[in-house]
């Protein structure tokens, strides 16, 4: 695969803004472990190899187990995720592939049982950010693993 264009060079002002949003996630009410799961699940759903590769490596570096990483795509059937993590994954799925008639009340109510209003709001911005990254990296065919050295992802020990 060959990258189509380098969007960072072509639109540095927009790149800076989306990086600011992504960096702000680190200060949100959503814990890092859940942010990793959300980034991985949205990237799987959107077919974004670059982001999936990056976020799996980040999660591994931050202590996520390989088995849980394998189970993200089957989280509905897996027993490895807490109710809070399951709520975040459900919210990720419904916002990544919006239903024709919007977000169903039953999904919102299940999420609301596990997360505060602030956490739901912060999580929604996190999902918005990863979906934006997925779209630009899919559009321009960013090569998975191409930024490993720049982002310190080689220490994940995955190759």
State the pLDDT at residue 135: 98
User: What's the pLDDT score for residue 157?
Assistant: 83
Low-confidence stretches of the chain (pLDDT beneath 70): none
Q: 2-35 in b/e burial notation, b at 16+ Cβ within 10 A?
A: eeeeebeeeeeeeeeebeeebeebeebebeebbb
| pLDDT score recorded for residue 158 | 83
Cβ proximity of 51 and 39 under 8 Å: yes
Tell me the whole-structure pTM to 2 decimals.
0.95
Of 156, 155, 147, 127, the closest CA to residue 49 belongs to: 147
pLDDT in tens, 63-83: 999 999 999 999 999 999 999
The pLDDT assigned to 1 comes to: 81
Domains of the chain: 31-140 (1.20.1290.10)
pLDDT for 132: 98
pLDDT computed for residue 119 by the predictor? 98
């Amino acid at each position: 695969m060959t990258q189509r264009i380098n969007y960072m060079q072509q639109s540095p002002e927009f790149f800076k803004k989306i990086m600011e949003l992504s960096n702000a996630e680190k200060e949100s009410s959503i814990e890092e472990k859940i942010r990793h799961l959300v980034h991985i699940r949205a990237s799987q759903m959107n077919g974004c190899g670059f982001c999936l590769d990056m976020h799996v490596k980040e999660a591994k570096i931050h202590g996520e187990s390989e088995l849980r990483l394998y189970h993200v795509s089957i989280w509905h059937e897996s027993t490895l995720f807490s109710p809070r993590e399951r709520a975040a994954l459900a919210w990720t799925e419904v916002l990544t592939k919006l239903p024709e008639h919007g977000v169903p009340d039953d999904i919102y109510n299940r999420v609301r049982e596990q997360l505060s209003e602030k956490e739901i709001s912060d999580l929604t911005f996190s999902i918005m950010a990863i979906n934006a990254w997925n779209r630009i990296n899919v559009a321009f065919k960013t090569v998975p693993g191409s930024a490993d050295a720049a982002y310190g992802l080689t220490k994940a020990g995955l190759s």
